[in-house]
Amino acid sequence: MSNANEQMAARYKNNFLKEIEEQAEMGEWVKMCMQCGVCSGSCPTNFHPGWDHPPQEIFMMIRAGKREEVLTSNSMWMCTSCYNCYVRCPRKLPITHIMHGIAEYAYRLGVAPKFQPTLHLSQTFWNNCTKTGRVNEVKLTQSLYFKDGFMAGIKKGLEMKDVALGLVKAKRLNIMEALGGGHKCKDIKGIQAMLAKAKELEAKRKAAKAAA
């Protein structure tokens, strides 16, 4: 348990709903859920194994104060952002955004599930694309495929080779980028300055919320 997590847990003691409302982005919507279940039923990932709790169950768990179960759940990370739930919700809850808000909050507290593929992809993608302002597709795929070991990476790569060849033919993938470099923005410094500023503003806003 990280320090930030313990602080928040102590501060909101028995009111996890309030914690989510105040600290997680879009968390103020959670209380509007009327538990109809249309979001869960609409979720394309919901009829496949692999994720713990559908959105409306997560919302109920938040109200029930199941802090640890919610924050360490993989559910928010499984959201594919298809927005089915968002458009069908009879109360117009921005469910997709709420899920992302809770995921981000769990990450910030350092309690998000380790080795969760979405989390891993998000981080890798971010590091990859902020470096040059453009994504180096070869390196991004490499780091994803080989995350579970060398043999697993080779196997995955062979599985996907037809897709890769197609991308190469369509000039969407440049094999040479495996060596480094690759395409980039004209003004890398400008992009990085902009991102740094955005990060600073966000950190300030969230620190203010956490300190309030």
Q: How near is the Cβ of 55 to other proteins at its closest, in Å? A: 10
Least separation in angstroms between CB 88 and other proteins: 7
Closest distance to other proteins from the beta carbon of 62 (Å): 15
Question: Among 18-26, 54-62, 66-74, 165-173, which window interacts with other proteins (CB under 8 A)?
Answer: 54-62
1, 64, 82, 87: which one binds other proteins (CB under 8 A): 87
Among 26, 27, 29, 53, binds other proteins (CB under 8 A): 53
Q: Does 88 bind other proteins (CB under 8 A)?
A: yes
Among 11, 13, 91, 161, binds other proteins (CB under 8 A): 91
For residue 210, the surrounding DSSP H or E stretch is helix 188-211
Q: In angstroms, what is the minimal distance from the CB of 86 to other proteins?
A: 11
Q: Report the C-alpha gap between 107 and 92 in whole angstroms.
A: 26
Q: Under 8 Å CB-to-CB from 50, ≥6 apart: which residues?
A: 74, 78
Rounded CA separation 34/173 (Å): 46
Determine the straight-line distance between the first and last CA of the chain, rounded to whole angstroms. Answer: 22
- The sign of the CA dihedral 200, 202, 205, 210 is negative
If 0-12 CB within 10 Å is exposed, 13-18 middle and 19+ buried, where does residue 124 land? middle
Distance of closest approach, residue 50 Cβ to other proteins, in angstroms: 13
The secondary structure of 100-122 as a DSSP string is HHHHHHHHHHT-SPTT-HHHHHH
Considering only residues 3, 10, 14, 47, which one is a binding residue for other proteins as defined by CB under 8 A? 47
**Residues between 7 and 46 that touch other proteins (CB under 8 A):** 34-38, 40-42, 46
Task: With contacts defined by CB under 8 A, name the span among 19-27, 90-98, 121-129, 163-171 that binds other proteins.
Answer: 90-98
**CB-based contact 93:33 (threshold 8 Å):** yes
Which residue ranges make up the site for other proteins (CB under 8 A)?
34-38, 40-42, 46-47, 53-54, 56-57, 87-92
